[in-house]
A and B are shown apart, each in its own frame.
Chain A
């Protein structure tokens, strides 16, 4: 099944992500975010960067928003652009993850923040899904 689908939204952007479990859902959500931002191409010999992050949240939805906002924060504060995300450990209130990317802020599109609007991680017959709306 497709793991990422854009949903129509008048002013901002919304995407539906799916996964067989929390790990896959959170990985897909991070990939969706990075895909939305896009990035300018790198020249040859660009150095790679890695960041290990730990995020906490009041519940699964808060953890998801905090995780995605952590990526936005790190890119802006460290001036790095991430291309991949791997969840190393995850529970309903805590996750540990590794981000991979490149130095320099090379994002094409600004996402100001990830919102809680209408957010609910729902169980489906094939796993879990969530619709995430971001402020652009």
Chain B
């Protein structure tokens, strides 16, 4: 293990940017940059996340910097909150740089109804959401897929959901890459991955995944807010989940296989979880294709969950609350690798951007954005910790210039799960949240305790750093009123 990293090892290169120069370690190919204020820097120094960030700077083909967002925390291989870009065609793609939950992401829906109208039915609504959106370990959904249907999901993601009546056309136009990543070859998704995912479409899973009913408490940008139909006091719903067992299996198969691949290509790495393959090699192309299929599975999964949430609203609020219908604000991925063109030192270059616990945040006018968002930039969804506020941001010109069109993805943990459980009991936490007007439905009280807000950084501070650094701007703040967890 390398020596412990201290704050004196980092140079402040801008008010919210700290740099570990490439001379720090002989195997670094580029410098490492962390977006943080003093408090978040101190938090990052309490675990091995900066060492993990430095490790990613050794990947062949990396350009500019290895970048960490202010919600950085220790992961495995890559830090959570890490962004790197590798130059194509010779740069590498790393399955560990995407993670096991491929296209884990967030969707936000909003209604024209106000919290005051929905509040009397909140208990009933949370029960319906818990019932209709299966959660927990190994949970199965109602949709049983044969191989032909599964292939269609792997090829077209939200496009399949639209064909099946689980989506509206406008949902797709408000999803990153329209919820369909073209070109994935389903035959590269193994039988084992299919076995795991077959019964899991439309399920939430466990861990830090959740559905949350929120009140929009602040809208910062009038024009953009109006475009997205956001107003203070309205009801919104967040969904946080990913590609379930199918994605986990795809990742684990390639991380295992690439243990040999790195030897074949003579790639030296400081950590075996960083294994990779040249992007244009047969191995790299196969992983990229299988990963895109898993990403489509995740888009379809969140789309079916959105459909179940709409049904739940209808069941509980039908004939009681007019304007209860939920329209989509946006859907973003925060565990992905994508081929994008970025301007680096004045030249447009094609790179493979890995975002591991980081969100795409394309600024106004970026290619790839739908016409609707061309003027305001891409919406970015930042869930806070359970019981705290969340944010909707917009991508900026700054995120395009500085961070390969990327920004943070959440609050970021600071406390281990074991310590979190020692600090508070699940029942106690549920009561505390209830006393603050937040209804909680959870399958596991111990799992609930692990997600205590005290285990996370202050999301408001994270978002303030993002805004000060110019890699995102605030559009709206959401406050929770009901949480559904596995």
Most A C-beta atoms less than 10 A away, residue of B73, B96, B138, B255: B138
Residues of A near B80 (CB, < 8 A) are 11
Cβ–Cβ contact A108 & B444, under 8 A: yes
Contact of A119 among B1, B137, B206, B272 (CB under 8 A): B272
Cβ–Cβ contact A133 & B256, under 8 A: no
CB distance from B347 to the nearest CB of A (A): 35
Distance in angstroms between the alpha carbons of A109 and B451 in the assembled complex: 13
Cβ–Cβ contact A10 & B259, under 8 A: no
Contact of B195 among A12, A62, A77 (CB under 8 A): A77
Residues of B near A114 (CB, < 8 A) are 252
Among A26-34, A41-49, A53-61, A84-92, the stretch in contact with B: A53-61
Distance in angstroms between the alpha carbons of A10 and B75 in the assembled complex: 8
Contact of B272 among A8, A109, A117, A135 (CB under 8 A): A117
Cβ–Cβ contact A113 & B196, under 8 A: no
* Number of interface residues, chain A, beta carbon within 8 A: 38
Cβ–Cβ contact B74 & A108, under 8 A: no
Could you mark each residue 35-73 of chain A with 1 if its beta carbon is under 8 Å from any beta carbon of chain B, else 0?
001000000000000000000011101100110010011
Cβ–Cβ contact A10 & B271, under 8 A: no
Cβ–Cβ contact A112 & B418, under 8 A: no
CB distance from B319 to the nearest CB of A (A): 38
Cβ–Cβ contact B137 & A107, under 8 A: yes
Give the tally of cross-chain contacts (CB within 8 A): 118
Distance in angstroms between the alpha carbons of A73 and B190 in the assembled complex: 12
Cβ–Cβ contact A117 & B76, under 8 A: yes
Cβ–Cβ contact B259 & A59, under 8 A: yes
Contact (A135, B100) CB under 8 Å given A66-B256, A118-B271, A119-B272:
yes
Residues of A near B196 (CB, < 8 A) are 73, 76-77
Residues of B near A73 (CB, < 8 A) are 192, 195-196, 249
Q: 26 A–B contact pairs at CB < 8 A?
A: A9-B74, A10-B74, A10-B415, A10-B416, A12-B417, A37-B137, A58-B259, A69-B252, A73-B196, A77-B195, A108-B137, A109-B137, A109-B446, A110-B137, A112-B100, A112-B101, A115-B96, A115-B255, A116-B76, A116-B259, A116-B271, A118-B273, A119-B273, A135-B99, A135-B100, A136-B207
Q: Which residues of B contact A (CB under 8 A)?
A: 1, 47, 49, 73-77, 80, 96, 99-101, 137-138, 192, 195-196, 205-207, 245, 248-249, 251-252, 255-256, 259-260, 271-273, 275, 413-419, 444, 446-447, 486
Q: Which residues of A contact B (CB under 8 A)?
A: 6, 8-13, 37, 57-59, 61-62, 65-66, 69, 72-73, 75-77, 79, 105, 107-110, 112-119, 133, 135-136
